[in-house]
Amino acid sequence: MTLQVAVALDDRSFAAQDWVAAVQQADDARLDFVTFDDAFGRRGPDAVLVASRVAPVTRHIGLVPVATTTHTEPFHLSTALATLDWVSRGRAGWQVRVSADPAEADLLGQRAPLGFDDLFTEAADAVEVVRRLWDSWEDDAIIKDVATGRFVDRDKLHYIDFAGEHFTVKGPSIVPRPPQGQPVIAALTHQARVWERLDVDVYFVTPADVDNAATIVRQLPAEKKVFADVVVFLDADQETAIRRRGATTSDAAVFAGTPAQLADLIASWEPAGIAGVRLRPGTPADLTTITGELTGVLRERGLFAPSTATTLRERLGLPVAVNRYSQEAANA
């Protein structure tokens, strides 16, 4: 069985070419997707905009930016992410994040942060609203009927009529349904109380070892995709990698060694049932080693095979996203 390989980018550069160069490395190596980190309180460009910038100059790789549900309107998230899916021709995703940081609330002039349960209740509602808005246009809603002067068939646009504790959204969207129907939604989760509240397609988890990874996978629904996060420092010899790692700490396991040793670790985790790994390069040089050396080692061992799928949903083996409103009409 082969695994899927992704990389996480966490840069502060405002130079577009820096991002383009990094993502093109991953694209040329035929990695499955790249995630773009973001938070309101950090220096750096908006992750969704970065993904939109690199989309036209990449061919294969999935593009999954972080976008925070706290202090952000789900209507705006849905349109931005749908646009990214159009620009990338079906390679878009979204990593959901919440913010409990009072400083971030102050930056936006917003209310004080909610408690854990309310933050994730709000995030779950935001995900539901975004999904409904993506479905609010049926796939054949655009008719471009010159004879009648109609661009859109209004009967194929739907009000989502969502009323929740934190917001009310009527819809429909102002962007046509994305090419994937439903772009892939992901979340980083460290504990059960997160994944019990947040229903997404892909979970990034941070196991300490193979047994821990297997325990986590068993707790999640079988149809979900689980990626194990690893921070990596790679060199030709382990001593150099350990020296570069220094005192680095992370929520995820921190690996320092050679590409072959990392391949050994990834192979040992495969029986746990993970779908793949998301590698967090310790430095830009480690990204180069991942794309230039590690992928070759993984391919030689039969652990990684470049996908020929054209959309991120297909690449991850997720089912076709059926439009809930057209299905309701068909069943009426």
Q: Helix or strand or coil: residue 163?
A: strand
Helix count and strand count (H, E) for the chain:
13, 13
List, in order, residues 6 or more apart from 219 with CB less than 8 Å away. 192, 195
* Alpha carbon distance 76, 82 (integer Å): 10
Q: Has domain 4-327 been given CATH number 3.90.1300.10?
A: no
Considering only residues 331 and 221, tell me which one the structure prediction assigns the higher pLDDT.
Answer: 221
* pLDDT, tens digit, 9 for 90 and up, residues 80-136: 999 999 999 999 999 999 999 888 888 888 777 788 889 999 999 999 999 999 999
Give domain limits for the chain.
4-327
Collect all residues with Cβ–Cβ distance below 8 Å to 330 and sequence separation of at least 6: none
Q: Is 254 exposed, middle or buried (0-12, 13-18, 19+ CB in 10 A)?
A: middle
Band (pLDDT 50/70/90 cuts) for residue 331 is low
Mean pLDDT of 26-53: 96
Task: Compute the distance between CA of residue 61 and CA of residue 96 in angstroms, rounded to an integer.
Answer: 19
Mean pLDDT over all residues of the chain?
Answer: 94
C-alpha 60/C-alpha 80 separation (Å) is 20
pLDDT at 122: 94
**pLDDT tens digit string along 157-167?**
999 999 999 89
pLDDT at residue 105, rounded to an integer: 86
Tokens for 30, please give them. Answer: 């035929």
- Measured CA to CA, the distance from residue 131 to residue 182 in angstroms comes to 7
Strand partners, 230: 253, 279
pTM for this prediction: 0.95
Residue 172 confidence class, pLDDT cut points 50, 70, 90: very high
